Amino acid sequence: MNALDVDDIGRMADRIRIHVIEMTSEAGSGHPGGSLSSAELFAALYFHVLKHDPKDPEWSGRDRFVLSKGHVAPGLYAALAEAGYFPKEELLTLRKLGSRLQGHPVKGKLPGIEMSTGSLGQGLSMSCGLALAAKMDKKDARIYCLLGDGELQSGQNWEAMMLASHYELNNLTIFVDRNHLQIMGNTENTLSIDPLAAKLKAFGFDTVTIDGHNVKKIIKACKKASSSRHPTAIILNTIKGKGVSFMENNAEFHGRSCKPDEKEKALSELRSRL
Amino acid sequence: MKKAAQRMYFGKALAALASRSDIVVLDADLGGSTRTSDFEKVAKERFIQIGIAEQNMIGVAAGLAASGKTVFASTFAVFASGRCWEQIRQAVAYPKLNVKIVATHCGISVGGDGASHQALEDIAIMRALPNMTVISPADANEAYAATMAIADHKGPCYMRMGRADFPLITPEDTKFEIGKATVLKEGNDVTLIGTGQMVTLCLEAAETLSEKGISAEVINISTIKPIDTDGIIRSVLRTGCAVTAEEHSIIGGLGSAVSECLSDNIPIPLERVGTKDTFGESGDPNELMKKYGLTTENIIKASERVISRKGNR
């Protein structure tokens, strides 16, 4: 996979956003807000950070990405299609009967999906298993996992973090999409997760907080993580609904798609960014 | 009759499997009791201590299995099935990963620990999961053979075993075929269908029934899912009635599985011996088995009842 330069990755993020709006609008449901907040991460991972081969998705030496916040599958699917894992035309089958693009990612159904996720709080445990296996097999593959901020309210994450630091899984990098919004509103009003960085540090993670929409910073943080002696946590300060004025910081778009007029407005805003 | 604990033979089987480099064993701080410690002794590099975190254990198991490992994850049956049921559903059963959840300390014969540690619902909730194979060996020899069989089987399995020493009713070199019921004694008047240590009680009941002139067939259902529909039908076609016996609730367990099989294929009178929609309590295992109706006498009474129902259809 040829890596793109930073500007092109930024543009790729917006192409992913356009797909997300088209896909979720066509489906009439889905989770566009979080998909938009993670667009730069998806673009940076699949077009720079990950060692992977879309023509050989099961290549044994590949890095692995686990989407623990499985509801933002549209963003991941868009990145996979852009990277060449499957035809882009298939994106519009999202959530439809018989589609490989299930509402939440399913391992074995679609090339590039490493684990079945969507029930929140489980992806980090799975990632620990992948990281342990890579160590056992003496592979230099790295494991990446994206978690939602609201998702961290689930206790299993903290069980997994204890394990990651106990076994010094320095081949594991986790991202927290810190957009501060979950279905019922602000994370800090729902069930506060701050002080997040201090908690992650206390659980043994090398922790860094960056602008999650800055591709250069994402790439730099991932590079630094790869030489750490500890697992790394990268807190991505992001804006839910990023890139579309009326969706930004709007919890309503956590779990609903655009209506026809909203869709056109969103697409025109996003196209103007390209 | 010689007795042995199933978990001891499970430990022996794991140690024998350690020569296979794909086998990884996970423990949630109970390895001394579940006997996964026997594997740790010989293959420490492939034994992973998870701590008291069963939900995480299942996720870790899924990640290892997705990397090509054959994973055994063990703890007590209450925790192995209940604490992490949804994790098993999402991370293991749905993607059909090669994870073997081996649970010890099932049933009421756990004894003194009481209801919090007595799994009487695990068969029900595990067999409801698509892609899940559910195993319940009758004795320690079968537990050994079943461990070997599930290690060779690709896909999710749940196996339940007891804590106490059970009589060895199958031979040391017993073979185990997943999905195959075994006829331990032939008979014509009633089919006694048991699982786990209740198979032993079925054999005892058949002896007493024979003294009363009743010829009972005894079937060991050590694979509860997929259940051996053909084997059950073959037997009840001859006997015309059946009794199930399990150290588990009659709701959702072996009794339910056999009821489903019979009502789908050949509706005949059935009586179910098991716990009756109740939790257990602390006590001596034998006293508990008696108090909760898991006795040879109850199997005999159920047999007499079910035979008397044969003509009333």
What's the mean pLDDT when you consider all of chain A? 97
pLDDT at B275: 98
Instruction: Compute CA B213 distance to the chain's CA centroid, rounded to the nearest angstrom.
Output: 31
Q: What is the pTM of this model?
A: 0.97
**Dihedral through CA A142, CA B72, CA A58, CA B133, nearest 10?**
-150
pLDDT at A3: 78
Please determine whether the domains at B3-167 and B182-312 fall in the same fold group of CATH: yes
**pLDDT tens figures, A49-58:** 999 999 999 9
Residues of chain A contacting B86 with CB distance shorter than 8 Å: 119
Residues of chain A contacting B64 with CB distance shorter than 8 Å: 129-130, 132-133
The amino acid occupying position B259 is: S
State the Cα–Cα distance between residues B87 and A129, nearest whole angstrom.
Answer: 14
- Both structure tokens of B91: 């991370």
Is the pLDDT reported for residue A2 higher than 80? no
Domain boundaries, chain B: 3-167, 182-312
Pairing mode, strands A143-148 and B165-167? unpaired
Instruction: Compute CA B23 distance to the chain's CA centroid, rounded to the nearest angstrom.
Output: 22
Residues of chain A contacting B96 with CB distance shorter than 8 Å: 108
B11: closest CA among B133, B105, B143, B114? B143
- The H or E element spanning position B100 is strand B99-104
A61: closest CA among A69, A75, A71, A51? A51
Give chain A's domains with CATH numbers: 6-273 (3.40.50.970)
The amino acid occupying position A79 is: A
Sign of CA dihedral A10, A16, A20, A26: positive
CB contact under 8 Å between A116 and B95, yes or no, is yes
Interface size A-B, in CB pairs within 8 Å, comes to 103
Nearest CA-CA distance, residue B22 and chain A, Å: 10
Residue with tokens 């890095």: A63
State the Cα–Cα distance between residues A71 and A76, nearest whole angstrom.
Answer: 10
Judge whether A118 is closer than 8 Å to chain B, CB to CB: yes
Is the pLDDT reported for residue B312 higher than 70? no
Residue with tokens 């017993």: B174
Q: Which residue in the set A118, A130, A163 is minimally distant from B66, CB to CB?
A: A130
CB B54 within 8 A of CB B80: yes
Residue with tokens 């500890």: A230
DSSP string, A75-106: HHHHHHHHHTSS-GGGGGGTTSTT-SS-SS--
Judge whether A110 is closer than 8 Å to chain B, CB to CB: no
pLDDT band at B158 (very low <50, low <70, confident <90, very high): very high
DSSP A4: P
Q: Which residue in the set B24, B64, B91 is minimally distant from A122, CB to CB?
A: B91
CB contact under 8 Å between B68 and A133, yes or no, is yes
DSSP B119: B
What's the mean pLDDT when you consider all of chain B? 97
CB contact under 8 Å between A129 and B95, yes or no, is no
- CA dist A218 → A14, A82, A209, A237, A242 (Å): 16, 19, 10, 11, 16
Judge whether B138 is closer than 8 Å to chain A, CB to CB: no
pLDDT at B311: 77
Q: What are phi and psi of A106, to 5 degrees?
A: -125, 120
Burial per residue of B205-229, b for 16 or more beta-carbon CB atoms within 10 angstroms, e otherwise: bbeebeeeebebbbbbbbbbbebbb
**pLDDT tens figures, B266-311:** 999 999 999 999 999 999 999 999 999 999 999 999 999 999 999 7
Residue with tokens 């992650």: A200
State the Cα–Cα distance between residues B15 and B11, nearest whole angstrom.
Answer: 6
DSSP string, A126-173: HHHHHHHHHHHTT----EEEEEETGGGGSTHHHHHHHHHHHTT-TTEE
Pairing mode, strands B3-5 and B165-167? antiparallel
Nearest CA-CA distance, residue B130 and chain A, Å: 15
Instruction: Compute CA B312 distance to the chain's CA centroid, rounded to the nearest angstrom.
Output: 33
State the Cα–Cα distance between residues B85 and B92, nearest whole angstrom.
Answer: 10
Residues of chain B contacting A118 with CB distance shorter than 8 Å: 90
Judge whether B55 is closer than 8 Å to chain A, CB to CB: yes
Judge whether A168 is closer than 8 Å to chain B, CB to CB: no
Q: Which residues contact B260 (CB under 8 A, 6 or more apart)?
A: none
CB contact under 8 Å between B90 and A117, yes or no, is yes
Question: What is the Cα Rg of chain A in Å?
Answer: 17
CB B65 within 8 A of CB B23: no
Exposed/middle/buried for residue A176 (C-beta within 10 Å: 0-12, 13-18, 19+): buried
Residues of chain A contacting B90 with CB distance shorter than 8 Å: 116-119, 122
Which of the residues of B are catalytic? 54
Judge whether A160 is closer than 8 Å to chain B, CB to CB: yes
CB contact under 8 Å between B56 and A163, yes or no, is yes
DSSP string, A186-229: EHHHHH---SHHHHHHHTT-EEEEEETT-HHHHHHHHHHHTT-S
Judge whether A132 is closer than 8 Å to chain B, CB to CB: yes
- Both structure tokens of B208: 């007493």
pLDDT at A1: 60
Strands (E), A2-127: 64-67
Burial per residue of A186-212, b for 16 or more beta-carbon CB atoms within 10 angstroms, e otherwise: ebeebeebeebbebbeebbbbbbbbeb
**pLDDT tens figures, B222-270:** 999 999 999 999 999 999 999 999 999 999 999 999 999 999 999 999 9
B163: closest CA among B200, B221, B113? B113
Domain made up of B182-312: CATH architecture: 3-Layer(aba) Sandwich (3.40)
Sign of CA dihedral A243, A246, A248, A251: negative
Beta pairing partners, B275: B249
pLDDT band at B92 (very low <50, low <70, confident <90, very high): very high
ipTM of the complex: 0.96
Judge whether A165 is closer than 8 Å to chain B, CB to CB: no
- Mutation target vs A (from B27, B90, B129; most A CBs, 10 A cutoff): B90
CB A5 within 8 A of CB A176: no
**pLDDT tens figures, B27-73:** 999 999 999 999 999 999 999 999 999 999 999 999 999 999 999 99
Domain made up of B3-167: CATH architecture: 3-Layer(aba) Sandwich (3.40)
